[in-house]
Each structure stands twice: as C-alpha cells, then as structure tokens.
Chain A
Amino acid sequence: MLNFSKVHMRYDKEILSDINITIKDGEFVSILGPSGCGKSTLLRLASNILTPSEGTITYNDDKELVIGFVFQNPTLMPWRNVIDNVLLPIELNKRTSSRDEAYMWLERVGLKGKEKSYPNELSGGQMMRVSIARSLINGCNLLLLDEPFAALDEINRRKLEDDLLELWQKAKFTVLFVTHSVSEAIYLSERILVLSSSPGKIVYEKNIDREKLNKDFSLNMGFQKIGDEIYEKLAGSVDND
C-alpha cells in the first residue's frame, strides 16, 4: 500500500498542497490535472527521488519495494542496443539474471526481433515499448508512469494502452499513471484523482467500476458521462486558480 499523508512540496513556491492519497496494492490510479499542477512532482515523490517538504510517504508491503518508472520520453541510452537497455535495472541491482528474461519481456511488449537494434533505429512507439519492458523486468510492484503516451499517435497510443492493461492484469503491480488525457485515464484506471493547478491539490476523486467494463467500453454512454463529469471538474480546477 502506498500512502501519502499531508504531503506538501515547496520549491520557491508551493507546488503540492496537503496531498492525502492511499493506493491499495495492485490498484491502477490515474492522476489528471492541468500543466504545471505538480503531477510529475507527485510521481517523483512516490519514487523517492524527491523528499516532501512536509508530510510522509509510506509503503506498507511485506515484499521489498521495487519501483519501475516510465518517463514521458522513452529515456533510452542511445549507446546501448535494445536488449542492453532492458537489462539495465538488473545490472544496477546486481541481480543474476539470464538474458532470456529480457528476451521474454521484449516479446511481451511486441518487440521480438528488435533485440540488437539501437534506439535510433526504432520508432517512437517501439522506443516506448522498450522503456516499458525495462521498467517491468525487475519485477516491480509499483509502476509509475509520467504521461508515457503523450507523444504517440492515436493508433500506437491505443495499442500501448491495451498492452499496459494486459500486463497489469497479469502481474497486478500497483500503478500510478499521470496523464493529461481524460479519456486515457478513464480507459485505463480503477480510480482517477484530479489535481487543481498551482498549488496542486486533490479536488476530485472518481472510482471507475472496471467490473462493468467490456471490450467496447470506450464507446458506450457511461464512458461519455464519466468523461464529461471529470472534464467539468478539471476545467473548474483551472478556473478556480
């Protein structure tokens, strides 16, 4: 369980204010909010890269916390080929692992045959798939994604969203997903949190009942209704600023 309790974050001014979130193990939570509202800062706090100015962030789990992070850009190392990029977390944690594991992850993200390619030989979507495989190879139990599909075209984005959902449903790691896109958040998440702008505060929370989902969920009226509701809150959070 990931728990934010009365978290504040300040640089020159307050970025995040009084953040209280509890995320259950295996839950898929999306954070929505306008640009500059502190969404990425929230992820960096969850990943321990940053320490909050006030409040606490705790992880209650029997297992050791292993974090996977997917950035907005694929953030691959251009001097390493695909397989060596995927193997990086294993190398850094000095875990003994065969390359077969990396091959398996590449196959699961649809990049079989691209193992020896260099990042500059891949498309944007393929690079993002490498980035996802890299974040999962360590057997992460908390996956943090910072607008990972923002730069992709509609078709590639939808494919990657489906693949991410499939991977999550199989492995059931906890996901904290930052996005600008209301429809993407609804399509992927079990719960959506809306942040207001500057300082970022949670102004709205919406549970999505995934049990009711079916394959054409995104086309039904329920989707539209939830979208309108969240959009209204999101627009309000900007206007209130």
Chain B
Amino acid sequence: MKNLLEVSTMIKLSNYISPIIALSIIFLVWEFLVKFFSVEMYVLPAPSDILLSLNSNLNELSYATIYTLKITLIAFLIATLIAVGLAIIFSLSKILEISLYPITVIFQVTPVVAIAPLIIIWVGLDNAQIAILILSVIVAFFPVLANTNLGFRSVDNNLRELFIINRASKWQILTKLNLPFAIPYILTGMKTSIGLALIGTVVAEFVAGTGSSTGLSWIIIESGNRLDIAKLFAALILLVLLGVFLFLMMSAIEYSVLRRWHQSTK
C-alpha cells in the first residue's frame, strides 16, 4: 500500500517536473546552436539575449502585458454576459432562438480580420481600444453561448417535471433549475472563451492597433519593424505566459465552483 502511494506521488511530481526538464533542454540546445553557428541576433536571438531584453525593457513590457490583460478580461466578461444573456433569451423564446442563433453563427465563422476595418470605421480611428474590445468580444462570446445553450437543453427532464408539479414560475425554473444546471457547461465555455478573448485581443490589435494602443501585439509589430527580435521574443513569451495564466485562473475558478458536487472534479 505504501509503495503504491509512493509511486502515485512520484507520478504526480513527474507530471510537473517532466515538462520543466523538457523545456530546459530545448532552451539549452537553442542557446548552444545559436552560439555555435553564430546566428545573427536579428534572425534568431539566444534565450539569454531574450532574457536580457526582457530585463532591459521590463517597464514597457509590464505595461503592455497589463494593457493586454485588461482588454482581454473586459472583453471576456462582456462576451460571457452577452452569451449567457442570449442563451437565457433563447431558452425563453423558441422563435427568438430560431431567428437569432444563425446570426450568432455568422459572427463566429467570419474571420475577425475581415470585419476589423468595418469596426474601426464605425467606432472611429481615434477609438482603437474600443475597436479591439469589440473584435475580441466577437471572437470570444460563441463558446459560452453554445455551451450555455447546451446546458439549458440538457436539464434533467424529471427535475423539470418536479418544478412544474410544484407550480414553479418561469423565473423560478430559470434561476433555480436551468442556470445552476448549466453552470458546468457555462464554465467549460468560459474556459475556451478566455483563450479566444486573448487571441481576439492580440489579432485585433494587429489589425486595428495604432500607436495609441500599447498592448503586447503592438510591441511585437514595432519590434519586428525595428528588427529587435529579442524584444519580439520577450513579448511573445509574456503572451504565452499570459495565456497559461488565464487558463489556470479559469480552471481554478471552475474547480472551486464545482468542487463539492460535480463529477468532473472527483
């Protein structure tokens, strides 16, 4: 029994250690190859150069990271509210669902870069931030809508009957049955959506960004133009870390909400 416990602890530890070792090896090989073949800095900087650049541009990069994080989180929250709101409307009115759902699918399948110019014209060139926010919301809202919709449709039929027998109002069915039942579905949608909100923010900034928006993607564009590839990589690494952080944050929220009662957390 003790041996089994030790083996399982070791497996758990190796789950964390293995990727760290793998990444370290990749960085070491990268460092060695760049130095060995004397690769030019503007083609591929060594990891140590990227770290130096990260250190020397720390203020600018931190500000850009916070800016991108802020836009992503605001877009994510707006997208979630719109999506859950729409799913509630759809659950209350079949005719509205039939009428509006195809429009939401159109938003989902249209590439954000294709509608970016329109959004920029509509909000004005001086309002790049709002354009980025709108584009990010458009990219992020669909997974929450689709999952919430699925959650509402999956409500246990017997539970629904129990509410009807007890003469529950539509509002009671929504707040005490449909919404709580759909929580795991909504959270799954939000987990996908938060990553898409980041992608949406980055892509939108590439398309709609100007000097007035100072997120990580603007730094990537600017560093690329100046052939400051070390800084470009530094911004890229921060973007990856931001994505991982957002995913872990959503996973932690999901775990804390479902911990006591949902099978997925067992």
Residues on A lying within 8 angstroms of B by beta carbon are: 44, 47-49, 67, 69, 71, 73, 75, 77-80, 88-89, 91-93, 118-120, 138
Contact = CB atoms under 8 A, between A and B. Distances in A.
A152 to B, nearest CB: 17
Given A44-B161, A49-B161, A73-B158, A120 B261 contact: yes
Chain A CB within 10 A, most for which of B158, B166, B172, B176:
B166
B176 A92 contact: yes
B165 A69 contact: yes
21 contacts: A44-B161, A47-B165, A49-B165, A69-B161, A69-B162, A69-B165, A71-B158, A71-B161, A75-B158, A75-B162, A77-B177, A77-B180, A79-B261, A80-B180, A88-B176, A91-B176, A92-B172, A92-B176, A93-B167, A118-B261, A120-B261
Interface string B139-171: 000000000000000001011011111111000
A79 B166 contact: no
Contacts, number: 51
Interface of B: 156, 158-159, 161-168, 172, 176-177, 180-181, 183, 260-263, 266
A93 B166 contact: yes
Contact of A89 (B156, B158, B166, B262): B166
Contact of A48 (B156, B162, B165, B266): B165
B261 A92 contact: no
- Summarize A's interface: helix, strand, loop or mixed: loop
A209 to B, nearest CB: 32
Contacts of A78: 261-262
B163 A92 contact: yes
Contacts of A138: 166
Given A78-B262, A89-B166, A92-B163, 16 more contacts: A44-B161, A47-B161, A47-B165, A69-B161, A69-B165, A71-B158, A73-B158, A77-B177, A79-B180, A79-B261, A79-B262, A92-B176, A93-B166, A93-B167, A118-B260, A120-B261
A88 B176 CA distance: 9
Given A92-B176, A118-B260, A118-B261, A77 B165 contact: no
